[in-house]
Amino acid sequence: MSEYNPAQEVRYLELLRREYRTIREASAEVAHLRAVLKLPKGTEHFLSDLHGEHAAFLHMLHNASGVIKRKINDLYENVLPKHERDLLATLIYYPGEKLALLKKQGIVDDEWYRLTIYRLLEVCRMCSVKYTRKRVRDAMPRELGRLMEEMLLSDSAPDKEGYYREVMQSILDTGLADSMIIELSRVIQSLAIDRLHIIGDIYDRGPRADLIMDALEHYHQVDVQWGNHDIVWMGAAALSEACIAQAIVTTVKYGNLESLEVGYGISLRPLQTLASAFYADDPCEAFLPKDNGDDAKEDEMVVARMHKAAAILQFKLEGQLIERHPEYGMDNRRLLHRIDFQSGTIDLDGKRYAMRSCRFPTVDPEDPYALNPQERDVMDRLIQEFAHSEKLQRHVQFLYSAGGMYLRCNGNLLYHGCIPMEEDGTFAAIPVTGAENLSGRAGIDAAEQLARQGYFGKAGQKNRRDGQDFLWYLGCGPASPLFGKDKMTTFERYFVSDKATHAEKKNAYYDKQDDEETALRILREFGLSETGLIVNGHVPVKVGKGESPIKAGGRLLVIDGGMSRAYQPVTGIAGYTLIFTSHDVSLSAHQPFISKASAISDEQDIHSMQSIVKKMPHRLLIEDTDEGEVLKARIEDLMQLIQAYRSGLIKEARN
């Protein structure tokens, strides 16, 4: 304990006195905190690249990536047949829906209630053993918490058997059984995962990212490392026109209009009107929604025309933004003025290519990046829609408060994309407006600060506008830690058949991702021990082609396993969960989720294969974690308060 210095500490200790008014109160808290330090470390779950696949994600949240099923098997494998264990697991995952189905099937009676509540209490007790009573109590609902706590403590005590039977009978007599089952199931879900880490890319591709965000913002302990897709939506909520256009392009590209119109209440009717006015006779072959092939229906053609109208808006707005920021080094991505409209060709990096289509009815060759009056009206309306979407603004504020570019947690480093590097392995400079030659951790810290200014800066101020533009850069810029490629060849994929123009070169980081010394250098750059792990998302691991998620001698783990259905043919699986317990770090590879309906009716769970990545040298306790360091500092402060009381420097408070 550091030497007590009254001159420096007395003011703080006076504040601490308000909470701990006597020697007895402060001493009791020291005893409690020292005991907490000896509890096992809580279980952390890491998920990445959710991409709007809300049904699969919510199921993984409900089943704790298979942890709950394993606990049920540990308890009942030699007691219950498999179908009863599966039924119990499904009841925990979807208690309300499964109860309703079982009632329809005539399975539910008083004896079923007694047996089921007893089993749920056993599972809950198993999940709660590593927590303080306060943590367990906090997970319980206010109305039933005291009753649950008593039942958890009393059913195994011989002297309380009569008490327990009477409580159970009262639950049945008063009609509380359904509520008890539903709330116990939710407590089990909460206790099975102590902390959830999302390693980026909640948005785009899948149908309902907003439903994922609804779940995350109410989760008991969660953090988010921003992904390149998330940052675009953050920029759109900050009212960056380029980000708004890009978010809409991706939405219509994957045919997910419901995510905008139903999820966030943002109407695309102005865009549809623009598309009808200028692209009604355009076949828009390159703009058909994904996975619909050539068998286009009439509504798909409407979406395709909206897609093209939004893409042209995107290219214009991006061109304007790049011209404002020469420090981005992206002038080669301003492409509209490189089109020869008469010959139907385009100049890309000094070479001329034929274009698949040269229909640009809203582009003025003399001023190609200017929005025409109808486009300007559409953008003005969309800005208002994004500004007034209460749900989107709330979700983005959550991403800012619970997230960041990276996280150091319990000795590990978490980030979505990459640490930008030069070919020689040195950290590359990140073009943060107003700063020069910042790389590595300093560059990423500066990038995060500017990204926050883009949303929270005062409207009309330069730092707000620069931050809005930088949010777009983070989504697709060549030195962005979230993107990790030299360019995004969206234009070429739409308009140029030569696939050589579609190439996107990855940052040198990815060539060195399997190099152990590079991983160690990154850990050191972020002030972490060489025993730590790097947890990385962003690039799907091609498991089907033999690629391993474990890289750099086990020091770097890439956990994008393809939860997005668009990636599953490439990855061969449907996502990873990294699980960090007090004993080990393990990786669960998941098979595709069928549906919520089949999970409820047929007890169809996600099949997962678990493998140990790293065993701990000893069982980790809270004293070994970041939380433990905070508690140790609190104990030291309390000991100084006790010393101040005993020395007479500070008086105990009166009751």
Q: Is the pTM of this model over 0.75?
A: yes
Give the count of beta carbons closer than 10 Å to the beta carbon of residue 421. 23
As a whole number, mean pLDDT of residues 3-21 equals 78
Counting other chains too, the contacts that 452-461 makes at CB distance below 8 Å and 24 or more residues apart are 452/400, 454/234, 454/235, 454/238, 454/240, 455/234, 455/237, 455/238, 455/396, 455/400, 456/400
Rounded average pLDDT over 77-103: 95
pLDDT in tens, 57-71: 999 999 998 899 999
Cross-strand pairs, 485: 506
Which residues, including other chains, have CB under 8 Å from residue 17's CB and lie 6 or more apart?
641, 650, 653
Q: What is the pLDDT of residue 6?
A: 56
Give domain status of residue 525, yes or no.
Answer: no
SS3 230: helix
How many secondary structure helices (H) and strands (E) does the chain include?
27, 15
* Mean pLDDT on 454-460: 95
**361-375, 392-406, 574-588: least confidently modelled range:** 574-588
Helix (H, G, I), strand (E, B) or coil at 464: helix
Tell me what pLDDT residue 121 has: 94
Using an 8 Å Cβ cutoff, are 312 and 249 in contact? no
Sheet holding 608-615, edge to edge: 403-404, 222-225, 195-198, 44-47, 576-580, 584-590, 608-615
Q: State mean pLDDT over 477-505.
A: 96
- Report d(CA 93, CA 68) in Å as an integer: 9
Whether residue 643 contacts residue 9, with contact meaning beta carbons closer than 8 Å, is answered with no
With CA atoms as reference, report the closest residue to 608 among 124, 64, 86, 84. Answer: 64
In a domain, 289, yes or no: yes
Buried b (16+ CB within 10 A) or exposed e, 211-245: bbbbebeeeeebbbbbbbbbbbbbbbbbbbbbbbb
Q: What phi and psi values does residue 126 have, to the nearest 5 degrees?
A: -65, -35
Query: Average pLDDT for residues 361-366, to the nearest whole number?
Result: 96
Helix (H, G, I), strand (E, B) or coil at 560: coil
Residue 38: predicted pLDDT: 96
Three-state DSSP state, 528:
coil
Buried b (16+ CB within 10 A) or exposed e, 309-325: bbbbbbbbbbbbbbeeb
- Compute the distance between CA of residue 121 and CA of residue 114 in angstroms, rounded to an integer: 11
State residue 294's pLDDT score: 41
Question: Stretch 97-124: mean pLDDT, rounded?
Answer: 95
More confident residue, 468 or 587: 468
Domain annotation covers residue 567: no
Give residue-wise pLDDT tens across range 539-551.
888 877 788 899 9
* C-alpha closest to that of 632 among 9, 36, 22: 36
Q: What number is the average pLDDT over the span 496-512?
A: 96
Amino acid symbol at 514: D
Task: State the total domains in the chain.
Answer: 2
Q: Could you say which of 495, 530, 550 is where a domain stops?
A: 495
By residue range, what is the domain housing residue 28? 6-39+635-647
Residue 584 DSSP SS3: strand
Contact 232, 243 (CB under 8 A): yes
Residue 20 lies in a domain: yes
- pLDDT, greater one: 102 or 167: 102
In a domain, 420, yes or no: yes
Assigned domain for 463 exists: yes
| Domain final residue pick, 462, 478, 495 | 495
307 touches 289 (CB < 8 A): yes
Nearest to 598 by CA among 82, 93, 19: 93
The answer to whether the beta carbons of residues 121 and 140 sit under 8 Å apart is no
* Residue 85 scores a pLDDT above 70: yes
Going along 83-200, which residue ranges are E strands?
195-198
Strands (DSSP E) found in 99-251:
195-198, 222-225
The H or E element spanning position 612 is: strand 608-615
* CA–CA distances in Å: residue 570 to residues 543, 564, 565: 8, 11, 10
Q: Is pLDDT at 259 greater than 60 in this prediction? A: yes
Is 105 a member of any domain?
no
Residue 9 structure tokens: 């500490």
Averaged over 350-357, what is the pLDDT?
A: 95
Domain boundary among the residues 466, 495, 524 is at 495
Residue 185 φ/ψ region, left for φ over 0, alpha for ψ in the -120 to 50 degree band, beta for the rest: alpha
Confidence band for 575, pLDDT divided at 50, 70 and 90 = confident
Q: Please report the sign of the dihedral spanned by the C-alpha atoms of residue 513, residue 516, residue 518, residue 521.
A: positive
Per-residue pLDDT, averaged over 388-411, amounts to: 98
Query: Which of 43-47, 77-81, 327-331, 602-606 comes out lowest in average pLDDT?
Result: 602-606
| Phi, psi (deg, nearest 5) at residue 302 | -60, -45
In a domain, 331, yes or no: yes
- Kind of pairing, strands 584-590 and 576-580? antiparallel
Query: Cβ distance 339 to 327 under 8 Å?
Result: no
Q: Please determine, for residue 270, whether its predicted confidence score (pLDDT) is greater than 90.
A: yes
pLDDT for res 296? 44
Distance CA 287, CA 302 (A): 10
HSE-CB at 486 with a 13 A cutoff on CA atoms is 10
205: left (phi over 0), alpha (psi -120 to 50) or beta: left
Q: What are the phi and psi torsion angles at 439 (to 5°)?
A: -135, 175
Residue 464: band (very low, low, confident or very high) from pLDDT cuts 50, 70, 90: very high
- Is 60 exceeded by the pLDDT of residue 461? yes
* Chain Cα centroid distance, residue 56: 14
CA distances 199 to 302, 399, 417, 440, 524, Å, are: 35, 12, 9, 19, 20
Residue 295 pLDDT level (bands cut at 50, 70, 90) = very low
* Span 286-298, average pLDDT: 63
Is pLDDT at 452 greater than 80 in this prediction? yes
Phi and psi angles of residue 402, each rounded to the nearest 5 degrees, phi first:
-100, 0
Longest dimension (CA), the chain: 93
Quote the mean pLDDT of the chain. 92
pLDDT at 542: 80
Cα–Cα distance list, 273 to 269, 279, 361 (Å): 6, 10, 15
